[in-house]
Structure 1
Amino acid sequence: MTVSTDSGAAADVAAPGGGGAAHRSQPWLAVAALILGLALGVAAGLLIPRLGHPGNSSVEAGFLRDMSTHHAQAVEMSMIAHADSANPRIVTLAGDIALTQHGQIGYMQAWLRDWDLSPTGTDAPMAWMPDASGSVVNGLMPGMATPEQLDALRKATGNTLDVQFLTLMRAHHLGGIHMAQEAIELSDDKNVDWLAQTMVSGQQGELALIDTLLKELQPA
């Protein structure tokens, strides 16, 4: 900017009624407008991502919470078999299931935290899935083992342990696949869809191995 050294020009600007005040106020108005615009932009940046996150009663939140609980039981059963089975193939399968599903629980709980949601909700199990009330039996989601079945698994040994574990895990996987497929259909979140599809693919592959092992281990 060129600064005038003309004393007359300076006097005209400084003189009352000469428009000097109006000229001096314009930069302040511009600064104020800039600050207001930045403030609104920051507020929008903070608000829009939150509005984009699934809500507390969303399909995504319900699925992640329920599947975390579902996975936790699979991890528990797998750790029992991993610790007590004498069959190397059962030990390997159980270890794979425990590690995979424990890792997926980590994803699900992290997303819930990122969305500022509680890891557990107040909705009934499967409330996120339409017409799913009939699939919940005694509070248990599809495929989940009863407390009595878990207790029997803990006490079992040898071939009985292996067959019980495979049988329970087969039902557990079928229930989990059903839930994950429904989540894919209902969810609009690409990350949730990706994880659910990973669950479907992985558990379908494990089901094939479970069926093979059951045929070998069950008495004729």
Structure 2
Amino acid sequence: MRHVGLVAGAAAALLVAAGAITYSVAEEHGSGDGTPSADSADAGFARDMAVHHQQAVEMSYIVRDRTKDPELRRLAYDIAQTQANQRGMLLGWLDLWGLPKVSSDAPMTWMGMGDMASGKDGALMPGMATNTEMTKLGTLGGKQAEIFYLQLMTDHHKGGIHMAEGCVAKCAVGVEKRLAQGMVDSQQSEIDLMAGMLKERGATARP
């Protein structure tokens, strides 16, 4: 429980900074000068990570209703709240920049990986669960649901980290790059935490 509290504290700190980050973006780009283009890494990351985050929120609320384990429920709630807030920020930036929230380009095109985002069975980007896996999660309960969620979310975070590292390398808006780096750090901490939680349940992350 202590470890979940530490992760939750880090997530809360990231969200406290969210308002300042949003205002910084407004100051940096509010005049319209230097606003990212629709095909920029900044816009692509905001669009794709918003979609990626939405699935994490959905998974977390599914498992929160299917387990009574307080530590797992707390982790799921923290992930849902953090990623829902970050998603709102990303979509808000697109509004601020006057850019569309959807694109005709394939996901990950801004990373030069558009041809690798297959969208097979609903998994639009690396780490995303398929529609079949999401349905399965909704049918499980107790320990089985906990293990499957931890495995799915570990994969999800690994994909999210890959995308966030792409923004750190390619995005031009400084505060967006810093938010992306914060995602890398916090999601890696949660991966480490989930590895321990899987071990406690006699399981491991998927290869």
TM-score class, shorter: 0.7 to 0.9
Contact 1:126–1:141 (Cα < 8 Å) also in 2 = yes
- 1:144 pairs with 2:128: yes
Contact 1:180–1:199 (Cα < 8 Å) also in 2 = yes
CA distance in 2, matches of 1:141, 1:54: 22
- Residue-by-residue CA offset, 1:152-178 (whole Å, 9 max, x unaligned): 000101110000000000000000000
Task: Specify the alignment match of 2:80 in structure 1.
Answer: 98
Task: Specify the alignment match of 1:190 in structure 2.
Answer: 174
List alignment gaps of at least 5 residues for structure 1.
Answer: 1-46
Contact 2:32–2:97 (Cα < 8 Å) also in 1 = yes
Contact 2:107–2:114 (Cα < 8 Å) also in 1 = no
- 1:217 pairs with 2:197: no
CA distance in 2, matches of 1:48, 1:125: 27
- Residue-by-residue CA offset, 1:28-64 (whole Å, 9 max, x unaligned): xxxxxxxxxxxxxxxxxxx993231101111110110
Offset of residue 137 of structure 1: 4.9
Contact 2:52–2:125 (Cα < 8 Å) also in 1 = yes
TM-score after normalising by structure 2: 0.80
Task: Specify the alignment match of 2:160 in structure 1.
Answer: 176
CA distance in 2, matches of 1:143, 1:218: 23
Contact 1:144–1:171 (Cα < 8 Å) also in 2 = yes
CA distance in 1, matches of 2:95, 2:113: 28
Offset of residue 67 of structure 1: 0.3
TM-score after normalising by structure 1: 0.75
Instruction: Report which of the two structures shows the higher radius of gyration computed on alpha carbons.
Output: 1
CA distance in 1, matches of 2:95, 2:135: 33
Contact 1:136–1:142 (Cα < 8 Å) also in 2 = no
Offset of residue 106 of structure 1: 1.0
List alignment gaps of at least 5 residues for structure 2.
Answer: 1-28
Question: Residue 56 of structure 1 aligns to a residue in which SS?
Answer: coil
- Residue-by-residue CA offset, 1:127-167 (whole Å, 9 max, x unaligned): 10024533545262000000000000001011100000000
Offset of residue 216 of structure 1: 0.7
Offset of residue 179 of structure 1: 0.5
Task: Specify the alignment match of 2:110 in structure 1.
Answer: 128
Matches within 5 A, 1:34-183: 49-131=31-113, 133-134=115-116, 136-138=118-120, 140-183=124-167
Offset of residue 218 of structure 1: 2.6
- Give the residue type in structure 2 aligned to 1:197: Q
- Residue-by-residue CA offset, 1:189-219 (whole Å, 9 max, x unaligned): 1121011011111101101110000001136
Q: May I ask how many residue pairs the two structures share in their alignment?
A: 174
